[in-house]
Structure 1
Amino acid sequence: MNSANIILLLKPDKDPTSPSSYRPISLINADVKIICKALAQRIEKVTPHIIDFDQTGFIKGRHSDDNVRRLVNIIDFATIKNQEMTILSLDAEKAFDRVNWKFLIAALHKFGFGESFINWIKILYHNPNASVRTNKQTSNRFFLGRGTRQGCPLSPSLFAIFIEPLAAAIRQNESIKGIKTKHSHHKISLYADDILLFLSNIHSVNETATIINEFSSISDYSINWNKSVLLPLNSNAEQGLTIPVKSGNIKYLGIYFSPKISELVQLNYTPLLKNIQDDLTRWTNLPLSLMGKVATVKMKILPKVNYLFSMIPTQPPLKWFKTLDSSISSFLWNNKPARISLKTLKSAKSCGGLELPNFHNYFLANRLQYILKWFKNNPETNSWLDLEQALCGKINLSDLPFISQIVKKQDCFKSININATLTAWWEFLKISKSSIQPCKMTPIWNNPDILINKKIIHFPAWQAGGIKQLEHIIIDRRFITPQELQDKHGIYNFLEYQQLKSIITKKFKYRDNDLKLPDVVTTLINFSMNKTLSKIYKLLCNLDNNISLPTTKWDADLSISTDESFWSELCLNTFKMTKSPNLQLIHFKTLHRIYYTEQRMFKMGLSTVTVIYPTITCMHYGSARLSRLSGSRYVPIYQSGLRFQSQLHRHCVCLVT
Structure 2
Amino acid sequence: MYYNWAVNIKNMIHLLDNSAQQVDWIVMEREDCSPCNIGATLLSPIHLNNKNYNKNPIIHSTIRTWKQIKQNLKLRNLSLLIPIVNNPLFKPSIIDKSFIQWERMGIKMLGDLYELGKLLSFQQLQLKYNLKNNQYFKYLQIRDYLKKYTKDYHNMPTDLLDEAMKTKAESANLISYLYNIILNIEIPTTDGIRRDWEQELAINISKESWDNHLLQVHKCSINVRHTLIQFKTLHRLYYSKTKINKLFPNVSPICDKCLCQEATIAHSFVFCTKIQKFWNEIFDIFTKLIKIKLVPKPEWIIFGISEGNPELNVFQKNLLNYGLIMGKKAHT
Q: Measure the CA separation in 2 of the matches of 1:504 and 1:435.
A: 18
- 1:421 to partner: Cα distance: 1.9
| 1:539 to partner: Cα distance | 3.7
Q: What letter matches 2:107 in structure 1?
A: I
Structure 1 equivalent of residue 17 of structure 2? 376
Instruction: List runs of 5+ in structure 2 lacking aligned partners.
Output: 235-267, 269-277, 326-332
**In the TM superposition, what whole-angstrom CA distance separates every residue of 1:405-452 from its partner, at most 9, and x where no partner exists?**
254365217222222222222333333443354x65442211122224
Q: Residue 176 of structure 2 aligns with which residue?
A: 531
Match of 1:405 in 2: 46
RMSD: 5.4
Provide the residue aligned with 1:466 in structure 2.
106
**Secondary structure in structure 1 of the residue aligned to 2:281:** coil
Of 171, 194, 214, the match for 1:571: 214
1:623: how far off? Answer: 2.2
Aligned to 1:623: 291
- Matched residue of 1:531: which SS? helix
Residues 1:384 and 1:434: Cα distance change in structure 2 (over 3 Å): same
* TM-score, structure 1 as length reference: 0.31
CA 1:466–1:383: 2 relative to 1, 3 Å: same
Contact 1:467 1:473 in 2 (8 A): yes
What are structure 1's unaligned runs of at least 5 residues? Answer: 1-358, 595-599, 601-609, 653-657
- How many residues were matched structurally? 264
Deviations 1:599-656, CA, capped at 9 Å, x for gaps = x9xxxxxxxxx9971765998xx725787678xx89899957825279989x99xxxx
Match of 1:50 in 2: none
Equivalent position to 2:126, from 473, 484, 504: 484
Q: Percent identity?
A: 14
Once the two structures are superposed, residues 48-85 of structure 1 have per-residue CA deviations (whole angstroms, 9 ceiling, x without a partner) of xxxxxxxxxxxxxxxxxxxxxxxxxxxxxxxxxxxxxx
Matched-pair contact (CA < 8 Å) for 1:547–1:568 = no
Tell me the residue number matched to 1:420. Answer: 61
Q: TM-score, normalised by structure 2?
A: 0.55
> Which residue of the other structure, out of 500, 509, 512, is the alignment partner of 2:138?
500
In structure 2, what is the equivalent of residue 288 of structure 1? none
Is the aligned partner of 1:613 residue 2:312?
Answer: no
| Alpha-carbon displacement from aligned partner over 1:287-339 (angstroms, at most 9, x marks no partner) | xxxxxxxxxxxxxxxxxxxxxxxxxxxxxxxxxxxxxxxxxxxxxxxxxxxxx
Query: How do 1:32-51 and structure 2 match up within 5 A?
Result: none
Higher helix share: 2
Q: Among residues 419, 433, 450, which one is paired with 2:90 in the alignment?
A: 450
Paired with 1:461 and 1:535, the residues of 2 have a C-alpha distance of: 37
Residue 259 of structure 2 is matched in structure 1 by: none
Q: 2:156 aligns with which of 513, 516, 527?
A: 516
Name the aligned partner's letter for residue 368 of structure 1. I
Q: By how many angstroms is 1:534 displaced?
A: 3.0
- Does structure 1 retain, via aligned residues, the 8 Å contact 2:32–2:56? yes
1:157-556 correspondence to structure 2 within 5 Å: 359=1, 361=2, 363-377=4-18, 380=21, 383-405=24-46, 407-408=48-49, 410-412=51-53, 414-437=55-78, 440-452=80-92, 456-459=95-98, 460-472=100-112, 477-481=119-123, 484=126, 488-489=129-130, 494=134, 497=135, 499-509=137-147, 513-514=153-154, 516-522=156-162, 524-525=164-165, 529-532=174-177, 534-539=179-184, 541-542=186-187, 544-546=188-190
Q: Is the 8 A contact 1:550 1:592 kept in 2?
A: no
Q: Is the 8 A contact 1:378 1:385 kept in 2?
A: no
**Greater RCO (CA < 8 Å, at least 6 residues apart):** 2
SS of corresponding position for 2:222: helix
Q: For residue 159 of structure 2, what is the amino acid of its counterpart?
A: D
CA shift for structure 1 position 388: 1.1
Query: What is the DSSP-based 3-state SS (H/G/I as helix, E as strand, rest coil) of the residue aligned with 2:107?
Result: coil
Residue 284 of structure 2 is aligned to residue 644 of structure 1: no
Q: Which has the larger radius of gyration?
A: 1
What residue is the counterpart of 1:103 in the other structure?
A: none
Q: Does the aligned pair in 2 maintain the 1:393–1:412 contact within 8 Å?
A: yes
Partner amino acid for 2:53? C
Amino acid at match of 1:506: D
Q: Relative to structure 1, is the Cα distance of residues 647 and 573 closer, same or farther in structure 2, using a 3 angstrom cutoff?
A: farther
Structure-1 residue corresponding to 2:272: none
* Other structure's SS at 2:49 match: helix
Distance 1:506 1:624, change over 3 A: same
CA distance in structure 2 between the aligned counterparts of 1:555 and 1:615, rounded to whole angstroms: 25
Shift of 1:590: 4.7
Q: 1:538 to 1:413 in 2, by over 3 A?
A: farther
